[in-house]
Amino acid sequence: MREIEYRDALNEAFDEELARDENVVLMGEEVAQYNGAYKVTRGLWEKWGDKRVVDTPISEAGFIGMGIGASMLGIRPVMELMFWSFHSVAFDQLVNNAACCRYMSGGLINVPIVMRGPANGGTNVGATHSHTPEGLFAAFPGLKVCSPATPADAKGLMKTAIRDNDPVYVMENTTLYGNKGPVPDPSEGDFTIPLGKADIKREGSDISLIAHGASVLRCLEAAEILSSEHGIQAEVVDLRSIRPLDQETIIQSVQKTNRAVLVDESKPFCGVSAQIATLIQEYAFDYLDAPIKRVCTIDAPAIYSPAVEPDQLPNAKRIIDQVLTIA
């Protein structure tokens, strides 16, 4: 299979969806003429023009609210936050108007928007630009959240998100944009990946490493070392989608391995892994041979120091250390 970059996989998803549905419109800061701050939308303005690919001013509350309003009339805006960290200046729009309008109207309205952009640490840009809010937004009923780790997942999930009739928040990752991976050729047919479906990225029998986003890649690195140096066969479960959540795959994996380490780039307090932990204790309590362990970002705002930041985030060493406490 051909290999393309994560950013190009996303680009292909946009291109295909722009072609499929005339109501799809890309919006955001620098997404059009500048070709995207991270070149994810490269070439799309040139191809699709002003109406379908729209540069907005730096005005997140304004343009996101505008997209939500337009979606009520059937437009399907795919809106970029240059960093998901900028969610805070548009929070009212993101959690009140996007998540609650359907409910408060008794189901008369739906808000088919996609919010997307990178949500990650690890690039030495300081605390304000390094937030990972997937758990935060998944905590709002009415929203859906996914976090693809590979180019194929990025394309497949993005296409599904655009077609979904509810608001879907896609958390990408600047450190993954340049990664290459196999993605089916468009000539092989429409390629989508459903929300709510986890993916076993590595089979294993001794312990389940459950992660999403870039942490999946850290788990795969750790799994190789655990196998070669410690004789531990780790299974890596990539959640892909946070809400809806593939609880079944999580529980099945833990029932098989009887041990779990949850790896989560968000902070430990009430993050995604906290939710997974409670599900495991509730649905697989009798299968556990050891306490559930977690590897999260060390509980402080993101440190700038390039020398230290890699150790604040989940990495192979920190994962292995935790695994060895219970396996």
Partner 1 sequence: MESVDFIEEKVIVYRELPPSAPQYCACQREFSSFISLAASQKDRYVGPRTILDMETTSSPHLSPLDFASSPINKSLTSERKVEHYRQMERIRRFEQASLQQYAKGGRMGGFLHLYIGQESIAVGCASLMGENDHMITAYRCHAHALAVGMSMNECMAELFGKATGCSKGKGGSMHFFAPDKNFWGGHGIVAGQTPLGLGLGYGLKYKNLEGAALCFLGDGAVNQGAFHESLNLAALFEIPVVYIIENNGYSMGTSQKRSSAYKDCLAQRADAYNMEWDVVNGEDFYEVRAKVQIAMERARKESKPSILEINTYRYYGHSVADANHKVYRSPEEIENYKKNHDPINLWRQRLISEGILTEEAAKEIGKEAKQEAAASVKFAEESPNPTIEDITDDVYWETDNQTEASKIGRHFFND
Annotated active-site positions, please? 60, 129
Minimum distance between the CB of residue 299 and partner 1, rounded to whole angstroms? 23
- Asked if 307 interacts with partner 1 (CB under 8 A), we say no
Nearest CB to partner 1, comparing residues 89 and 225: 89
Quick count: other Cβ atoms within 10 Å of Cβ 305?
10
The least distance separating partner 1 from the CB of residue 91, rounded to whole angstroms, comes to: 10
Tell me the closest approach of the beta carbon of residue 101 to partner 1, in angstroms: 7
The two three-digit tokens of residue 285, written as one number: 């309590």
Which residues in the 44-73 window bind partner 1 by CB under 8 A? 51, 56-57, 59, 61-73
Provide the greatest CA pair distance for the chain.
58
Residue with tokens 């060493």: 317
Q: Does residue 25 belong to the site contacting partner 1 (CB under 8 A)? A: yes
In sequence order, the 6+-apart residues with CB closer than 8 A to the CB of 38 are 7, 118, 174, 177
* Interaction residues for partner 1, span 167-186 (CB under 8 A): none
Per DSSP, the three-state class of 207 is strand
Are 81 and 60 a contacting pair, CB within 8 Å? yes
Give the residue with the Cβ less far from partner 1, 137 or 177: 137
The nearer residue to partner 1, 59 or 205, going by C-beta atoms, is 59
End-to-end, the C-alpha distance of the chain in Å comes to 36
Q: Nearest-CA neighbor of 220 among 210, 229, 206?
A: 210
Residue 12 near residue 20, CB atoms below 8 Å: no
Site for partner 1 in 86-145 (CB under 8 A): 92-93, 96-97, 101-110, 112, 141-142, 144
Asked if 285 is part of the footprint of partner 1 (rule: CB under 8 A), the reply reads: no
Among residues 65 and 121, whose Cβ is nearest to partner 1? 65
* Three-class DSSP category at 322: helix
Q: Are 205 and 253 in contact (CB under 8 A)?
A: no
Cβ within 8 Å of residue 114, ≥6 positions away = 76, 77, 78, 79, 158, 161, 162, 164, 167, 168, 169, 170
**Cβ 207 vs Cβ 234: under 8 Å:** yes
197 binds partner 1 (CB under 8 A): yes
Nearer to partner 1 by C-beta: 102 or 116? 102
Does 196 bind partner 1 (CB under 8 A)? Our answer is: yes
Binding status of residue 253 toward partner 1 by CB under 8 A: no
Residue 207 as a binder of partner 1 (CB under 8 A): the answer is: no
Closest to partner 1 by CB, 33 or 105: 105
Among 75, 149, 171, 303, binds partner 1 (CB under 8 A): 75
Note the residues at the interface with partner 1 (CB under 8 A).
23, 25, 51, 56-57, 59, 61-75, 92-93, 96-97, 101-110, 112, 141-142, 144, 160, 164-166, 194-197, 241, 243-247, 275, 279
